[in-house]
């Protein structure tokens, strides 16, 4: 079976499913069951754009057949030229629709619509790395605000002169994970620190970890058996007390050894709730990492989500350029990028990921 006939067969099946769901939604039984009505409504919404594009493709092909017939049957040169122009335009439209439909049929990441937890940690480079980590935190916060995502700074460990050792940022909104999932990895900055008198360029790093946020029911944690919870007084930079209550919460997950500490809220209960949310996401990410490891045994993707050891991007101040090393894309505007203008990078990463998965799908299909 050719690629095109295989694609048509899949799309024809989806069109039949769409018609079946539409028919079910019109029955009194479904309207009387809110759960079924909601489930079928979501299914119809998922299928509708794909089926609409498939029907448009069939319409374009019918027009193409008519135009080709006119070209072959017409004796008038001017009319044949008009037919050729129409054929060229329709063939371009047909190709675009086929490529769009191939992308729409790719297996969807089930985490794409989730909220996301972004952890940022200063790496090599001392105070300069901490200052860079603070800039990354601002970059993602500004980006989220521009896209009307809600942000909550769950935890931050400041250095006292504008830098951060570690921060945990929640970004909430439809599609937050889909937009930020390729930001995980080692970010590198090259610049002359303000304290450097000789003008030497320093290289510093910060690590970004991107986790999909999960519900309690999705990751089971036995609090009595699996957790050690320590409570202490919160402290700020240099040991300065943040508040006078024992509100800082440190949770150790004994089976995995994962440790989460939150001290931002004055309420111990709120800090515990935030720490548990981060712990659930880290445990879920461990399971995802196992799945990715199994997949990478079959093929290595060009764009990865969550590879913490990989140097993914360099922010070079002297040359005013930001380069994403996974896809070879460079933007010559470091200040704008650090102000949250990273859509061009994110769009390019998503397109590269789609191309990679389409290539893998074609290889599997023969």
Residue 312 lies in a domain: no
In a domain, residue 155? The reply is yes
For the chain, the average pLDDT equals 85
pTM, entire model:
0.69
pLDDT at position 297 over 70: no
CA distances to 253, 267, 362 from 231, in Å:
15, 11, 54
Which residue segment(s) compose the domain that 348 sits in? 114-213+320-366
Q: Kindly write down the DSSP assignment for every residue of 55-75, as one continuous string.
A: HHHHHHHHHHHHHHHHHHH--
Q: Are residues 99 and 121 in the same domain?
A: no
The token pair that represents 236 in the structure block: 């700020």
285 shares its domain with 268: yes
Whether 309 maps to a domain, the answer reads: no
Kindly state whether residues 162 and 70 are assigned to the same domain: no
* 83 within some domain: yes
Cα dist from 296 to 115, 289, 293, whole Å: 25, 10, 5
pLDDT, tens only, 55-71 = 999 999 999 999 999 89
Report how many domains make up the chain: 3
Backbone angles phi, psi at 45, to 5 degrees: -65, -35
pLDDT average, residue stretch 210-215 = 87
Q: Which residues pair with 313 in a beta bridge?
A: 187, 324
Task: Look at residue 77 in the predicted model and tell me its pLDDT.
Answer: 86
Residue 305 lies in a domain: no
Q: Give the dihedral of Cα atoms 221, 225, 227, 232; nearest 10 deg.
A: 140
100 CA to centre of own chain:
20
Q: What angle do CA 28, 31, 36 make, to 5 degrees?
A: 120
Clarify whether residues 77 and 12 are in a common domain. Answer: yes
Residue 293: C-alpha distances to residues 186, 308, 359 (Å)? 19, 13, 19
- According to the per-residue pLDDT averaged within each range, which of 94-108, 255-269, 327-341 is highest? 327-341
Helix (H, G, I), strand (E, B) or coil at 167: strand
User: Which DSSP string do the residues of 291-345 spell out, in sequence order?
Assistant: HHHHHHTT---SS-SS-TTSEEEEEETTTTEEEETTTTEEES-HHHHHTT--HHH
CB contact at 8 A, 206 and 120:
yes
CATH number of 48's domain? 1.20.58
123 pLDDT above the threshold of 60: yes
């Amino acid at each position: 079976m050719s690629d095109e006939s295989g694609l048509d067969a899949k799309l024809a099946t989806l069109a039949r499913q769409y018609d079946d769901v539409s028919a079910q939604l019109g029955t009194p039984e479904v309207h009387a069951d809110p759960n079924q009505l909601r489930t079928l409504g979501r299914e119809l919404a998922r299928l509708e754009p794909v089926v609409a594009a498939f029907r448009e493709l069939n319409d374009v092909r019918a027009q193409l057949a008519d135009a080709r017939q006119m070209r072959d049957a017409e004796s008038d040169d001017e009319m044949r030229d008009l037919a050729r122009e129409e054929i060229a335009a329709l063939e371009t439209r047909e190709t675009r629709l086929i490529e769009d439909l191939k992308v729409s049929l790719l297996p969807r990441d089930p985490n794409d619509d989730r909220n996301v937890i972004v952890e940022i940690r200063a790496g090599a480079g001392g105070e300069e790395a901490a200052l860079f980590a603070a800039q990354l935190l601002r970059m993602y916060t500004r980006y989220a605000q521009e896209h009307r995502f809600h942000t909550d700074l769950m935890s931050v460990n400041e250095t006292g002169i504008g830098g951060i050792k570690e921060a945990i940022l929640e970004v909430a909104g439809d599609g937050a994970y889909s937009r930020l999932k390729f930001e995980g990895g080692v970010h590198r900055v090259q610049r002359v620190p303000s304290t450097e008198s000789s003008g030497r360029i320093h290289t510093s790093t910060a690590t970004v970890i991107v986790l999909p946020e999960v519900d309690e029911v999705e990751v089971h944690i036995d609090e009595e058996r699996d957790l050690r919870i320590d409570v202490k007084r919160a402290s700020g930079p240099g040991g300065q007390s943040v508040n006078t209550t024992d509100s800082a919460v440190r949770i150790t997950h004994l089976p995995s050894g994962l440790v989460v500490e939150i001290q931002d809220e004055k309420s111990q209960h709120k800090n515990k709730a935030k720490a548990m949310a981060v712990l659930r996401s880290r445990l879920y990410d461990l399971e995802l990492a196992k799945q990715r490891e199994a997949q990478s045994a079959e093929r290595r993707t060009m764009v990865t989500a969550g590879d913490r050891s990989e140097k993914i991007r360099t922010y070079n101040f002297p040359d005013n350029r930001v380069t994403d090393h996974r896809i070879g894309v460079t933007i010559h505007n470091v200040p704008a990028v650090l102000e949250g203008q990273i859509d061009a990078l994110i769009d390019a990463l998503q397109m590269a990921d789609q191309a990679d998965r389409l290539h893998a799908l074609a290889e599997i299909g023969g």
